[in-house]
A = this chain, B = another copy of it.
Amino acid sequence: MTINFDGGLVPVIVQDATTREVLMLAYANDAALERTRETGYAHYYSRSRQKIWKKGEESGHVQRVVRILTDCDEDTILYQVEQQGAACHTGHMSCFYRTIDGEEISGRVFDPEKVYANKGE
């Protein structure tokens, strides 16, 4: 497949390959996708830091990529992963741990202060 990067970034949905829980959304450029395919571990492009990053670089919460899917328009990617630890820097398994009304639907699985030397990833 040819992904329509259009010179920029595409959104990457990340889903647990076993439980099918949606874990997070991030962005990738061509090089981040390439590095993911080469290494078998999820890489993204950070818009704020303007560089490629490997998920779990600091926390150890890496994502082994089991399968990469693309959508009908070839402008969105889905990584199906085995998540080490948890996906969210807040300590929750998934970044989607709250309803739009602010209700928490799942608790923390790790204490972010013990995992991150700096704030967030």
Q: Using a CB–CB distance below 8 Å, which chain A residues touch chain B?
A: 1, 3, 11, 13, 15, 19-22, 24-25, 37, 67-73, 76-78, 88-90, 92, 95-102, 105
Contacting residues, chain B, for A95 (C-beta < 8 A)? 71-73, 76
A20 to B19, CA, bound (A): 8
- Cβ contact within 8 Å between B11 and A69: no
A42 to B72 Cα, complex, angstroms: 19
What is the chain B residue whose CB lies nearest that of A74?
B98
The one of B37, B77, B90, B105 in contact with A69, judged by C-beta atoms closer than 8 angstroms, is: B105
In the assembled complex, the CB of A105 is this many whole angstroms from the nearest CB of chain B, namely 7
23 contacts between A and B (CB under 8 A): A1-B101, A1-B102, A3-B100, A13-B13, A19-B20, A20-B20, A20-B21, A22-B22, A22-B78, A25-B71, A37-B100, A67-B99, A69-B97, A69-B99, A69-B100, A70-B96, A71-B95, A72-B89, A72-B90, A72-B95, A73-B95, A76-B95, A77-B100
